[in-house]
Amino acid sequence: MNDINLWALGGVGLVAGLLGSMLGVGGGILIVPILTLAFHLPIQVAIGSSLVAIVANACTASGIYTKVRLTNIKLGLILETATIPGAIIGGFAAVFIAPSILSALFGLVLIYVAYTMVTRRHFISVDNQPNDHSVAPNNTSDGLSSSLADSYYDRSLDKVVDYKVNRTATGLGTSFFAGFLSSLLGVGGGIINVPVMHLLMGVPMKAAIATSTFIIALTAATGAFIYQYYGNIHPFIIAPLVIGIVIGSRIGVELTQRTRGALLRRIFGAFLFLVAILMFLKTANVI
């Protein structure tokens, strides 16, 4: 591996945390391509580092979300029974899949995230929440629905939002895939969890984001342990990344209130398209 500049790595963490919290995307979507394209680190090392940084970010956010009672811990635990096996399998798969294929898969995920940003189909953006109280439980409730029901106080609506959870089996299936993708590519998995919880399971957006963050913390930690097993966790790469991402996400939360989210999302979406192209070029050994 090449020599690395610790301050530049800290800067990557800072920007990933900043944009991640402002745009509602996990930092991994930025960390992995930058570490592979700019720092020329092996993609497995980049993914392992990204997973640890994601744990730091998710734990910081979960501390806040659980304090304001947004996290549905019971739902989080149920979905973790699926995300964790997915994360273990994804971690093993990443070792056996050729780096060029991993780069190509990452490029495809980047294009999906960029598309959702540019075309306003941004399921995971905090500042685009529909009226949470409009989410009504449907008739497909299963037996778990009543025990997973939860409520939280919504400051913007000045009311308590009650909700039930539907289609738990569907949620478990997609959660397995989210865990697999998270561990395989070093992304949070929120790009799958949040829309599934909100659109399919009837969880209000704010609670879906908080619960997804709770799930991501353990899922990414599980994946990171597998990468550690294969020697892809390097403390000197991770330290500046973790420090940067925690500081960046704190600043991002503050800046979110003052910036024009829609414009920023489109610019970032276009940037991700460019990064996706670079990842494909790397796959083809052009760069």
Partner 1 sequence: MENTKWDEGRLKNWASLTFRVGIAISLALVVIGFIILIYISGFKDIQPLVRLEEIPAAIVISIGILLLLLIPMAQVILSTVFFSMSRNRLFIGISVAVLCLSAVSLVMALT
Q: Tell me which residues touch partner 1 (CB under 8 A).
A: 1, 3-7, 41, 45, 52, 55-56, 58-60, 62-64, 66-67, 69, 71, 73-74, 77-78, 80-81, 84-85, 87-88, 91, 147, 150, 214, 217-218, 221-226, 228-229, 233-240, 242-243, 246
Query: For the chain, how many residues are written?
Result: 287
Q: How far is the CB of 14 from partner 1 (least distance, A)?
A: 14
Give whichever of 150 and 154 is closer to partner 1, judged by the CB atom: 150
Structural contact between residues 91 and 183, judged by C-beta atoms closer than 8 angstroms: yes
Give whichever of 32 and 272 is closer to partner 1, judged by the CB atom: 32
Strand partners, 162: 151
Please spell the DSSP secondary structure of 227-244, one letter per residue.
HHHTT---HHHHHHHHHH
Give whichever of 14 and 276 is closer to partner 1, judged by the CB atom: 14
Please spell the DSSP secondary structure of 147-169, one letter per residue.
HH-EEEEETTTTEEEEE----HH
Structural contact between residues 209 and 19, judged by C-beta atoms closer than 8 angstroms: no
d(CA 135, CA 133): 5
Give whichever of 125 and 222 is closer to partner 1, judged by the CB atom: 222
Instruction: Return the number of other C-beta atoms located less than 10 Å from residue 287's C-beta.
Output: 10
Beta carbons within 8 Å of 3's beta carbon, 6+ residues apart = none
Q: How far is the CB of 100 from partner 1 (least distance, A)?
A: 22
Q: Are strands 150-154 and 159-163 parallel, antiparallel or unpaired?
A: antiparallel
Q: How far is the CB of 208 from partner 1 (least distance, A)?
A: 16
Q: How far is the CB of 108 from partner 1 (least distance, A)?
A: 26
Q: How far is the CB of 61 from partner 1 (least distance, A)?
A: 9
Give whichever of 149 and 262 is closer to partner 1, judged by the CB atom: 149
Q: How far is the CB of 283 from partner 1 (least distance, A)?
A: 23
Handedness of CA 123, 23, 209, 16 (dihedral sign): positive
Rg (CA), the chain: 18
Give whichever of 3 and 158 is closer to partner 1, judged by the CB atom: 3
Give whichever of 81 and 138 is closer to partner 1, judged by the CB atom: 81
Structural contact between residues 23 and 268, judged by C-beta atoms closer than 8 angstroms: yes
Q: How far is the CB of 211 from partner 1 (least distance, A)?
A: 12
